[in-house]
Structure 1
Amino acid sequence: MNLFFRLLLVFLRASLARPRVSLFDVTRLRSRVMLTDQDMFAHMTNSRYFSFSDLAVINYIVRTGTWPKLRKRGWFPVVCAESVTFSRMLSWRDRFEIETRLVGWTDTYMCLQHDFTRNGKTGATVRIIARFASRKRDRVTMDDVVAYLGVERQSPPLPPEYEAMVDDVEAARLARANESRVPA
């Protein structure tokens, strides 16, 4: 997280926001491209989209009221995969909004989407696959999280692009597990 002051501002604003929103609501975060967010081509640098997505996740977790519950259990989200698709670049001084929504989940992973919009048009979409980890190093499944948060509905069906990302994450995890079993 390289947007430390923006992080503090987002956390404070989200903490004070009323009313809380549902896990299935869209949360919005407004910002502006600063001079330090640009690359040498006068566009917001690609890595900033992921940094702003981190801010949007903090906003989402705090606004939905899950932050204190997760902290109480010692659970925290860990990003396993991210992808970004661009259609319009943001430039210096552009105001934009990030719309964050929960797309769904599997037994292990949570899927979020962040749409970067300007003047009502989506300029970029960041897709995130995350899982939950525990400070005690216990295995945390999405069933654990959903039950603890009192969610009574099933996950909506995942779009194909998310299913492909989950498959890629699982394949990488299995490959790492196999590498660790191979004697040197």
Structure 2
Amino acid sequence: MYPYLRMMKEIIKNRKAPPLAFDEVHVSHHRVWLSDIDQFIELNNGRTLMLYDLGRVPMGLRVGLSGAMRANCWGMAVAGACVRYRRRLRPFEKFEMRTRGLGWDERFFYIDQQIWKQDGECANHAVFRTAVTDRNGIVPTAKVIAAIDSNAENKPLPDWVQDWLEAEDNRPWPPQR
């Protein structure tokens, strides 16, 4: 089940937080609950992806995206993710999530997210390719940036992100049956 109550808590907690630039870090603190674990008694990998929403949505609120989405009847979609899992998180363990924008191209925004254990080890790291959408499909990023009235400077994506995107471009779609 989607963590609606946790999301509401993050939205309420961050609705008056200071604004952020797209490439500044939004930091949030969470705990692994029993509903997050799998049969190996650790944070489930699929649940991890869902919990990353708890960082992206408040970050969007703080950069001004949420208001622009409401005003323009836009939605948000995840169009891809590159994830690396390295350390287990156990029930009731506290962790810190760090979320920041990496950059964008004509269609997509790239969001870097990290989960850090209290002992200072990185448990996992993900980059999400996200799109703002309307009834006609993907809204161009230039239109989104203008709507949030941002003077954000688009920086080149790191080489490893560009390599991931190139690999995605070479991946056949639809996949072979």
TM > 0.5 between the two? yes
* Alignment partners' CA distance in 2, 1:79 and 1:165: 15
d(CA) in 2 for partners of 1:69, 1:132: 10
Paired residues of 1:49 and 1:126 also in contact (CA < 8 A) = no
Q: Provide the C-alpha distance between the structure 2 equivalents of 1:26 and 1:131, rounded to a whole number of angstroms.
A: 20
Contact 2:22 2:152 in 1 (8 A): no
Query: How many aligned positions are there?
Result: 174
Same amino acid, percent of matched pairs: 20
Q: 1:100 is paired with a residue of what secondary structure?
A: strand
- 2:130, 2:26 → 1: CA distance? 18
Q: TM-score, normalised by structure 2?
A: 0.87
1:96-130 Cα distance to aligned partner (Å, 9 max, x none): 01100001111111000111011233111011001
1:164 aligns with 2:163: yes
Distance 1:34 1:47, change over 3 A: same
Larger radius of gyration: 1
Q: Which residue of 1 aligns with 2:58?
A: 59
Tell me, what secondary structure is at the counterpart of 2:49? helix
Unpaired segments ≥5 residues, structure 1: 177-184
Name the one with the larger helix percent: 1
CA contact (8 A) 2:103 2:157 kept: yes
Amino acid at match of 2:43: M
Of 69-78 and 38-47, deviating more is: 69-78
Normalised by the length of structure 1, the TM-score is: 0.84
* Structure 2 spans left out of the alignment, 5+ residues: none
1:106 aligns with 2:136: no
- Show CA shifts across 1:1-27 (max 9, x none): 711111111121121x33222222100
Contact 1:104–1:158 at 8 Å: present in 2 too? yes
Matching residue's letter, 1:93: F
Report the aligned-residue RMSD: 2.2
